[in-house]
Amino acid sequence: MFGKRFPAVLAACLSLGVMADEADIRKGMEAKLGTKVESVTKSGYMGLYEVYADGNVLYTDEKMTAIMVGAQLIDAKTMKNVTEERMKKLSAIKFSELPLERAIKQVKGDGRRVLATFEDPNCGYCKRLAKDLQKLDNVTVYTFLYPILSEDSVRKSRQIWCASDRAKAWSDWMVEGRALNGKEDCDVSAIARNQELGRRLNITGTPTIFFVDGERVPGAMPLARIEQKLNQAR
C-alpha cells in the first residue's frame, strides 16, 4: 500500500508514537510533581524515561508507577555516570546571552580565559572561591551579585554595586574581610534583575559557576579543576 514510501511512513509513525508517549509522560509528571517539566526523553536503560524538571533529573517508567529522585544512573559496561553527563548538557546555558554589563568585571593578565559566577556576599563558599580566583592568571571573571541568603545580603550587594570601584569593593569584602560602609543610593536595579535571571536559570545556591562553553558547576569547585576547565573551554 505504501510502496516505496513505506520506510519513511513507518519512521514517521514510530516517531509520532514516541512523541505521544513522551507527551503523556510530561503531562502526567507535571500533574504528579506540581511543576513544569522541561523535557522527557528515553534514557536507553531499563525502559526508563529521563524527566528534567526544576533543575533536576528524575526517572520514571512508561506507566509512571514509580519515580526515582536523586538517582545516579551508571552505565554498567563503561561505568560512566549517565546522569552526571546528562545534567551537564541539560543545565548548560548560552554564555553569550548572559547580561555581562550587570556583573562585576575583574581582569587579570591578558584576561583571555573567561568565566562567570553568581554569588551572595554572605556565602562562605563564595568567599573561599573569591580567594581561590585571586590565584588565577590571564582570566576575566564576571561576578553577578545574587543575594539569596538574607536581607543583609541584599544590603551588602547594594553597597558593593554602588561603590566607585566595584571590583575593589567586592575583593575588599570577600577576600580581605573589610567591612562595607558605602552608600546604597545608586541605581541598584541590576541586582533585582540578576535575582530574576537566577530564578529563570534555576540557580538555587551560591556560588554557581558558568564557563564559556555553557557548562554550569553548582557549589564549590577545586582551583585545579577550574584551571583545567578554563583551558578546555577556551
Cβ(53)–Cβ(85) under 8 Å?
A: no
Q: Of 29, 75, 84, 28, which Cα lies nearest the Cα of 218?
A: 84
- Axis-axis angle for helices 151-161, 189-200 (nearest 10): 120
Indicate the burial class of 221 (C-beta count within 10 angstroms; 0-12, 13-18, 19 or more): middle
Last-in-domain residue among 41, 73, 90: 90
- And the C-alpha cell for 149? 541568603
pLDDT of residue 5: 41
Last-in-domain residue among 43, 69, 90: 90
Domain shared by 208 and 109, yes or no: yes
Mean pLDDT for all residues in the chain: 90
Domain shared by 70 and 104, yes or no: no
Tell me phi and psi for residue 29, to 5 degrees.
-70, -35
Cβ(126)–Cβ(207) under 8 Å?
A: yes
Q: What count of other Cβ atoms lies within 10 Å of the Cβ of residue 79? A: 7
Number of domains in the chain: 2
pLDDT of residue 115: 97
State the CATH number of the domain containing residue 141.
Answer: 3.40.30.10
Q: How far apart are CA 67 and CA 61, in angstroms?
A: 8
- Axis-axis angle for helices 124-133, 223-233 (nearest 10): 60
Last-in-domain residue among 61, 90, 119: 90
Rounded average pLDDT over 120-147: 97
- pLDDT tens per residue across span 39-55: 999 999 999 999 999 88
pLDDT of residue 234: 65
The torsion angle over the Cα atoms of residues 31, 34, 35 and 39, rounded to 10 degrees, is -30
Q: 213: domain range?
A: 95-233
Domain shared by 47 and 108, yes or no: no
Domain shared by 109 and 209, yes or no: yes
pLDDT confidence tier of residue 12, bands split at 50, 70 and 90: very low
Domain shared by 63 and 22, yes or no: yes
pLDDT at 167 over 80: yes
Rounded average pLDDT over 53-65: 93
Q: How far is CA 47 from the centre of its chain?
A: 28
Domain shared by 141 and 71, yes or no: no
pLDDT confidence tier of residue 93, bands split at 50, 70 and 90: very high
Q: How far is CA 183 from the centre of its chain?
A: 31
Domain shared by 142 and 181, yes or no: yes
- pLDDT tens per residue across span 177-220: 999 988 888 999 999 999 999 999 999 999 999 999 999 999 98
pLDDT of residue 10: 35
165: Cβ contacts below 8 Å, ≥ 6 apart: none
Number of H helices, E strands in the chain: 7, 9
pLDDT of residue 19: 46
pLDDT of residue 16: 40
Give the max Cα distance, the chain. Answer: 81
Domain shared by 106 and 188, yes or no: yes
pLDDT of residue 68: 94
Domain shared by 72 and 174, yes or no: no
pLDDT of residue 9: 36
pLDDT confidence tier of residue 144, bands split at 50, 70 and 90: very high
Domain shared by 127 and 224, yes or no: yes
- What's 178's DSSP letter? P
Per mean pLDDT, which range of 14-18, 96-100, 145-149 is the poorest? 14-18
